[in-house]
Amino acid sequence: GENVEQHPSTLSVQEGDSAVIKCTYSDSASNYFPWYKQELGKGPQLIIDIRSNVGEKKDQRIAVTLNKTAKHFSLHITETQPEDSAVYFCAAPTPNTGNQFYFGTGTSLTVIP
C-alpha cells in the first residue's frame, strides 16, 4: 500500500547469517505493526508483531524493532536456515482503523545452504 514502503525487494543470505528487512510508514498515529511470512503456494501467516509502546520484541530467532520518531520498523532474522526462505510482508494500520492494514510490497528472502 502507498503508506508502507518495504526494502529490499529481494535478499539472499548464506545459511547462518542474519537477514534484515526494513519498512517505513507515514501515519504517525499507527500503533501496531505485524510481519507476515508467505511460503510458496500458501497464504501469508503472522510471525511476529509489535505495538508502539515497546521498541523491540523477540521470539527465538526473529525480532522486530520499532523507531516511532523515524516511523520505521525492521524484521531481524538471526542464524538463518533454509526454511526461512519465503516472502515477508510488513504492514501498518490504515488511518482511523484498528483492523485494516496497508501491506508492504514484500521481500523475497533466499537462504543459501
Partner 1 sequence: DAEITQSPRHKITETGRQVTLACHQTWNHNNMFWYRQDLGHGLRLIHYSYGVQDTNKGEVSDGYSVSRSNTEDLPLTLESAASSQTSVYFCASSENSGGSYEQYFGPGTRLTVT
List residues binding partner 1 (CB under 8 A): 1, 6, 32, 34, 36, 41-46, 49, 89, 93, 98-101, 103-106
Taking the least distance from each CB to partner 1, the nearer of 13 and 47 is 47
Three-state DSSP state, 83: helix
The nearest distance, CB 16 to partner 1, in angstroms, is 29
Taking the least distance from each CB to partner 1, the nearer of 57 and 78 is 57
CA distances from 60 to 9, 12, 57, 76, 80 (A): 24, 21, 10, 11, 12
- Beta sheet of 72-77, edge-to-edge order: 4-7, 19-25, 72-77, 62-67, 56-59
The nearest distance, CB 91 to partner 1, in angstroms, is 8
Residue with cell 483492523: 99
The nearest distance, CB 97 to partner 1, in angstroms, is 10
Taking the least distance from each CB to partner 1, the nearer of 8 and 16 is 8
